[in-house]
Structure 1
Amino acid sequence: MAHSRKPAADGEAKKPGKGLLARVLQPIAIAAAALVFSVALLATSLLVVSDHSDGAAQGVSLPVAGPIIQQELPEFVADLDASGARSHYLQIAIVVELPQEAVSRLKEEQAQILSEVQSYLRDLNRRDLFGSAGIERVRVDVRAIVDRHIAPTRTRDVYFTKFLVD
């Protein structure tokens, strides 16, 4: 006598193990969704609720900048760190984009800014300046130098109108 499976009530044969997989994965999916929801709720509450003892509402005030202008710094040449027999230099011209009210502070600090930028560049070697990543690194560092000198105002951007490595 051969054993045959009986068809299910709806006309299909039951597949063994399918219900087990669904029963295991469903609670895991629900737990994962609950965890994601809890983390999102916690992050939101931390951003919204502050830890002030007086209960007063706290706001953030940002200075409103006036017109943005581009201020050129004098072009200069900086000797690079000589790692080989031949020394190299960088000829550079910098334009700083900043709020108009910071221009006077930039002019007051210009000698110190140029001195600090030259010192920074002297520590670099020619390989540090290769490619767009090298130029971007210099841009970020020059911007940080200028920002320190014109604080609390910040530059909007720094441009190089000349960047010649020899």
Structure 2
Amino acid sequence: MFEKGEYVVYGNTGVCRIEDITTLDMKDVSGSRLYYILIPRHQRESKIFTPVDSEKTVMRAVLTKAEADALINDIPDIEELWVGDDKQREEKYKETIRSGECRDWIRVIKTLYVRKQRRIAQGKKTTVMDEKYLRMAEDNLYSELSVSLEIPKEQMQEYITDRILEMDAQESK
């Protein structure tokens, strides 16, 4: 069970702060069942009420600083996703984003970055679908890492790129 004030990753919503853990006084709701009241980090006007014992939606702790650092170090070794068929590709992107796992989000980001570069080299534009899933994966990843590393979300892409370039420079010495 999580504690009040902790940050968690909640399904497709992303990073949320646990505002409270309480019972709900509502019709058709058991008065003894505990609920988390979650505040999405980037939608502070929203509240999510979810049973503490629910298994319907993936909810996990946000990465620790050490886990986030290790994840960034592993990025060069994380494999991309490759699916040839467009319909299957979109399903795979959806499924991978829904997993709620940072490594999966990185796989989507890497795949779409490479795909974008190839399309540009062929004189083509990126697809709306690719842009949509790239944005979702980046938003989820950068939101979580910004909490773990205490770096503003807007600076995460630059931070990650700089770290990877640093690692590359150290390896080539």
Quick one: higher RCO (CA 8 Å, sep 6+), 1 or 2?
1
TM more than 0.5: no
**Structure whose alpha-carbon radius of gyration is higher:** 1
The answer to which structure has the higher helix fraction is 2
Q: TM-score, normalised by structure 2?
A: 0.24
What TM-score do the two structures reach when normalised by structure 1? Answer: 0.25
